[in-house]
Structure 1
Amino acid sequence: MATTRASSGRVRRRPTRSGVVLEPEMIIDAALRLIEAPGGNALTVRRLGVELGADPSAIYRYFRDLDALLIAIADRLISETLAGFEPGPDWKAALREMGRGVHDSMLRHPRLAQLRAIRFTAGPNELRADDIGIGLLLSAGFSAPDAVRHFRDFIDAVLSLAAMDAAELAPGQEEADKEALARAYATLSPEDYPNLAAVRDHLPQITASPFPGVLEKLISALALAAPGPSAP
């Protein structure tokens, strides 16, 4: 996947029309408010300029384009996941906490979930998250290539499941889907669907989030494959 990031060069700061001196973090804050505005994502460069009391073109002194701004926002949200996260001696517990933190953050910011699931930020927060996650697997005794590969599989699975859970449905759509499934399960023919009929009473859990169960399966699989603690 392509890496897109905000310009890291020095920017000559100038006051906006309202006398406010822009900062990258201020722009990210305003963009996040517009993305999460009631009624749907309202982020455009023009609206961002209005929100900041600045000429819209001022944004480009800090971010190459709107995509670079979105990537910077995604990296900011990774910092939310890492806030207060201090891995303990149990690498499995730490990896579990990390996965849950990612999932919770994605649910808090559903309109950015897909972006976060499919793009790299190459920003300091993503690099820190990768450093922590790969470090946990190195501490479990995995070799360098295996630690990288397993962390990639783990974090991509967590991000994908979280993006699914965070997907915004039209009002009433989720309940309508559940009701349709309930009607279908209630009328299952044992002749046509013998296995589904045999587990009929348990089928409603199909609509529940798979995240908790898959997270435990991933960690259990890693625990079985782990060679043991690496030598100091």
Structure 2
Amino acid sequence: MSERVVPAAARQRRRPTKQGVVLSEELIVETAMRLIEEHGADALSVRRLGRALGADPSSLYRYFRHADDLMLAVADELIGRTLRAWRPTGDWRADLRDLGLRMHAGALAHPRAAVLSAHRVTGRTYEIQAVETILGILRGAGFPDAEAVRVYHAFVDQALAYGALDSANTALPRAARDAEADVWRATYARLPATSHPHIAATARHLVASMRGSSYPAALDLLLTAAEARLAPRRAGTRPVGD
């Protein structure tokens, strides 16, 4: 794509596409997300998108400057889908836990898009809303500004990293996923205690745990650590390490 994007007020296509659909930024992003899940990063070409939309590929330049501009819009839409499904309760820890789990689930629902976009900073509507919301939760809980940013940074990076990690695993063929998961039973669970005492002692737990994501446990550990940092401040003292 090029740099010929049309201002938002002038973007509306007056005539429907060959498939009888009126183009919009939302429709293009939705179609791009579907194609990414089917074809990976190669889906973000004007020719492929044009065919899927039944539109002249050049018409996409009215909405996005180039493929990376569209990728940022896809990344922002993933954030938006999480925010639209999430409702705060006023309990900062419960709210962040629910938000984190929804972010992770949203990545797994669109694994290829999540892998491609997890490292991006969009500067768009939903990302800005997410940053404002999470910082508001933390500041409202009593975290000082610098600490709120520290926890925000760890929380978001953890959710995005696990989303990309687990999405990459989900995107593998089913046979490959099953074969890798079976390594814990077929290899680790059979290692002798004489040479690998710690693995042998915990083998049954490894087999049970390693097949699934550790994100919920990691999220709880992060929130527990954040809560431990907050408690002394609420008591009027400084946390250890300050």
TM range (shorter): 0.7 to 0.9
What's the secondary structure of 1:83's corresponding residue? helix
Structure 2 letter corresponding to 1:201: R
Alignment of 1:210-225 (within 5 A): 210-225=214-229
Is 1:137 aligned to 2:138, yes or no? yes
Over 3 Å counting, the alpha-carbon distance change for 1:179 and 1:33 in structure 2 is closer
156-165 vs 179-188, greater mean Cα deviation: 179-188
Alignment of 1:151-170 (within 5 A): 151-167=152-168, 168-170=171-173
CA distance in 2: counterparts of 1:29 and 1:64, whole angstroms = 17
Specify every segment of 5 or more residues in structure 2 that has no aligned partner in the other structure, as ranges.
236-242
CA distance in 2: counterparts of 1:212 and 1:88, whole angstroms = 19
TM-score where L is the length of structure 1: 0.87
How far the C-alpha of 1:216 sits from its partner, in A, is 0.6
Q: Can you list the C-alpha shifts for 1:59-101, whole angstroms capped at 9, x where unaligned?
A: 1121010111111111112111011423222100101111011
Is 1:228 aligned to 2:234, yes or no? yes
How far the C-alpha of 1:51 sits from its partner, in A, is 1.8
Over 3 Å counting, the alpha-carbon distance change for 1:13 and 1:212 in structure 2 is closer
CA distance in 2: counterparts of 1:13 and 1:178, whole angstroms = 49
Specify every segment of 5 or more residues in structure 1 that has no aligned partner in the other structure, as ranges.
1-5
Task: Name the counterpart of 1:172.
Answer: 175
CA distance in 1: counterparts of 2:102 and 2:23, whole angstroms = 31
How far the C-alpha of 1:7 sits from its partner, in A, is 7.2
Alignment of 1:192-211 (within 5 A): 192-204=195-207, 205-211=209-215
Alignment of 1:1-232 (within 5 A): 9-14=8-13, 15=15, 18=18, 20-37=21-38, 40-41=39-40, 43=43, 44-167=45-168, 168-204=171-207, 205-226=209-230, 227-228=233-234
How many residue pairs are counted as aligned between the two chains? 222
Give 1 or 2: higher helix fraction: 2
Highest relative contact order (Cα 8 Å, sep 6+), 1 or 2? 1
How large is the RMSD of aligned CA atoms in angstroms?
Answer: 2.1
TM-score where L is the length of structure 2: 0.84
Percent identity reads 39
